[in-house]
């Protein structure tokens, strides 16, 4: 009620302010928007964002495998900017290498699913390997403008000349001849390595990385996509991506420092066409702690193929699919990624940060349950026949769980009190460890508060359900209270004093859950 009045008053003040000082009102809105972005860091403003009618960005994944956790940074940051500026976002599959980074046909859809899981939706999706004719056309125009030449030097020979800032003999090739040879490249009349199309930049450029780079090369291996399998002449990333960014009116490019020099290289092409280069933001590499597996598509692929990992969603794999299966929300990953900001230095993402975000998101709606790992069996003497702990301690209205006790319980080895000591079986009551049994003492909960009796979780020894908990450190076996069998796959549970887990499946004799985090 008070809040309501406050809100109303706030609204009224806001309106009044609008009349008196519209500028100040807008400022306040901006501040409020920043605050709403989360309780942690907020991404910095994009350079010159207000100079464009619409902020247009692109995700440019290489579909050579499913995404690892580092890949999430791209949609997280770009997607968040899209929302902030009410902008536009393209997903462009840069799949122009049929050989070395050969596309994986399943990855296209898997990547789109990952983007969706993270909570974003591209406004348009295109595939570079569908657009070869467009790149060819632009190559022809570039040649006509004197911006490129065909070169049949071997890679080593050219590299040697280049490092001495000396032109190769083909640099003088005139546009007409170049065009002829380029058409032959397009027609597939050469084999890989025979000839390339080079951009004529500045052979004496102080940075050797800038000197006459390759725009197109021949690839003998057919592209895995049927639509593109007929092409042999493929553009290099710097050419393809540079052209596409312009054709889609991209205003802001956000990418990794490995592509630091790309902008400088592409500018040579832009200059020939008299185009203006978009704004660029670079970020450093991300490493993720807590994993033994390296954050690399090829490494993970190898481990999956060799069977060391069950699949891309093995809990030990640092992949998006894995976190998803563990029941972690895409939003938690995004928030953690946003906090990394966009600095060009390399960063370590702490998984605890992802976990903290996720806990915040799911804690309130996640039901509680007991799971005992490595249970020690104790005979129970006396006491009620059933326990009724709450489904969620903060929400009594959600009811209670009915746990039949039977005549023995299981507790975790560390929770067994010394002989003669008491322990409180959570949701059930106080017991004393006597010889090899737990004897119900019937004392009041006061002993927990005033005498420091520990509260532990437990399950009935006989009526509990076997459960495998898959964790990053391997599988753990245990027994859960019978009620867990009623939860559907994908449901989240908090195993009290163990942690959050996602119910994966129920098999005949056991249930399987994936551990998310404490």
Partner RNA sequence: GCUCGCUUGGUGUAGCCCGGCCAAUCAUAUCGGCCUUUCGAGCCGAUGACAGGGGUUCAAAUCCCCUAGCGAGCACCA
Nearer to RNA, 9 or 445 (CB): 445
Residues of span 311-330 touching RNA by CB under 7 A: none
- Candidate segments 117-125, 140-148, 222-230, 426-434, binder of RNA by CB under 7 A: 426-434
Q: In this structure, what token pair is assigned to residue 149? A: 């030449």
Q: Does 40 bind RNA (CB under 7 A)?
A: yes
Radius of gyration of the chain (CA): 31
Task: Answer for the pair 263, 237: CB distance below 8 angstroms, yes or no.
Answer: no
Binding flags for RNA, 125-154, as an x/- string (CB under 7 A): ---------------------------xxx
- Of 54, 99, 202, 451, the one binding RNA (CB under 7 A) is 99
Q: Which residues contact 38 (CB under 8 A, 6 or more apart)?
A: 335, 338, 339
Residues of span 451-470 touching RNA by CB under 7 A: 455-457
Residues of span 466-495 touching RNA by CB under 7 A: 494
Q: Residue 448 phi/psi, 5° resolution?
A: -70, -45
Q: In this structure, what token pair is assigned to residue 163? A: 């490092």
Residues of span 267-286 touching RNA by CB under 7 A: 284-285
Nearer to RNA, 182 or 506 (CB): 182
Rounded to an integer, what distance in angstroms lies between the CA atom of residue 36 and that of residue 33? 5
- Of 158, 272, 312, 438, the one binding RNA (CB under 7 A) is 158
- Of 82, 223, 324, 426, the one binding RNA (CB under 7 A) is 426
Number of residues in contact with RNA under rule CB under 7 A = 88
Min CB(472)–RNA separation in Å: 15
What is the distance between the terminal CA atoms of the chain, rounded to a whole angstrom?
A: 36
Residues of span 192-251 touching RNA by CB under 7 A: 192-196, 206-209, 211, 213-214, 217-219, 234, 236-237
Q: Residue 193 phi/psi, 5° resolution?
A: 90, -15
| β-strand pairing of 88-93 with 124-127 | parallel
Q: Which residues contact 272 (CB under 8 A, 6 or more apart)?
A: 142, 145, 146, 147
Residues of span 341-380 touching RNA by CB under 7 A: 341, 343-350, 352-353, 355-356, 359-360, 363, 368
Q: Does 496 bind RNA (CB under 7 A)?
A: yes
Binding flags for RNA, 44-83, as an x/- string (CB under 7 A): x---------------x-x---------------------
Task: Answer for the pair 411, 479: CB distance below 8 angstroms, yes or no.
Answer: no
- Of 101, 267, 301, 373, the one binding RNA (CB under 7 A) is 101
Residue 130 Cα distances to 99, 187, 233, 238, 267, angstroms = 17, 17, 13, 17, 24
Q: Which residues contact 201 (CB under 8 A, 6 or more apart)?
A: 210, 211, 212, 213, 265, 268
Residues of span 10-39 touching RNA by CB under 7 A: 39
Min CB(40)–RNA separation in Å: 4
């Amino acid at each position: 009620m008070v809040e309501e009045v406050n809100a109303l008053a706030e609204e009224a003040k806001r309106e009044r302010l609008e009349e008196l000082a519209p500028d100040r009102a807008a400022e306040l809105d901006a501040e409020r928007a920043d605050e709403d972005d989360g309780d942690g860091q907020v991404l910095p403003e994009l350079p010159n964002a207000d100079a464009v009618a619409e902020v247009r960005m692109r995700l440019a994944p290489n579909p050579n495998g499913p995404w690892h956790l580092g890949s999430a940074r791209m949609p997280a940051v770009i997607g968040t900017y899209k929302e902030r500026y009410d902008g536009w976002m393209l997903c462009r599959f840069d799949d122009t290498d049929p050989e070395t980074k050969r596309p994986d046909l399943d990855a296209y859809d898997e990547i789109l699913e990952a983007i969706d899981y993270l909570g974003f939706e591209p406004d348009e999706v295109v595939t570079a390997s569908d657009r070869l004719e467009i790149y060819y056309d632009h190559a022809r125009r570039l040649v006509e403008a004197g911006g490129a030449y065909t070169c049949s030097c071997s890679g080593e020979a050219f590299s040697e000349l280049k490092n001495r800032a000396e032109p190769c003999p083909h640099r003088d090739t005139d546009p007409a001849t170049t065009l002829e040879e380029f058409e032959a490249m397009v027609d597939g009349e050469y084999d890989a390595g025979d000839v390339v199309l080079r951009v004529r930049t500045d052979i004496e450029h102080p940075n050797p990385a800038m000197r006459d780079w390759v725009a197109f090369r021949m690839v003998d291996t057919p592209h895995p996509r049927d639509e593109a399998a007929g092409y042999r002449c493929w553009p290099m990333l710097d050419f393809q991506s540079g052209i596409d960014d312009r054709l889609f009116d991209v205003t802001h490019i956000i990418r990794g420092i490995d592509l630091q020099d790309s902008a400088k290289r592409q500018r040579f092409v832009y200059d020939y066409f008299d185009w203006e280069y978009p704004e660029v933001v670079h970020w450093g590499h991300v490493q993720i702690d807590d994993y033994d597996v390296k954050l690399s598509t090829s490494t993970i692929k190898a481990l999956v193929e060799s069977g060391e990992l069950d699949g891309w969603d093995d809990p030990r794999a640092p992949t998006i699919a894995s976190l998803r299966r563990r029941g972690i929300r895409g939003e938690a990953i995004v928030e953690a990624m946003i906090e990394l900001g966009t600095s060009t230095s390399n960063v370590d993402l702490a998984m605890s940060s992802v976990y903290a975000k996720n806990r915040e998101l799911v804690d309130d709606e996640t039901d509680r349950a007991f799971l005992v790992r490595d249970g020690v069996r104790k005979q129970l003497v006396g006491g009620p026949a059933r326990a009724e702990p709450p489904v969620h301690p903060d929400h009594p209205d959600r009811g209670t769980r009915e746990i039949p006790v039977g005549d023995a319980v299981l507790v975790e080895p560390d929770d067994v009190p010394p002989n003669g000591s008491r322990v409180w079986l959570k949701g059930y009551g106080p017991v004393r460890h006597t010889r090899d049994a737990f004897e119900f003492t019937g004392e009041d909960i006061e002993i927990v508060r005033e005498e420091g009796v520990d509260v532990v979780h437990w399950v009935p020894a006989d009526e509990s359900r076997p459960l495998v908990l898959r964790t990053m450190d391997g599988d753990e076996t245990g027994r859960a209270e019978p009620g867990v069998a009623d939860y559907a796959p994908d449901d989240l549970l908090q195993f009290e004093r163990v942690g959050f887990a996602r119910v994966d499946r129920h098999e005949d004799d056991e249930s399987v859950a994936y551990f998310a985090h404490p």
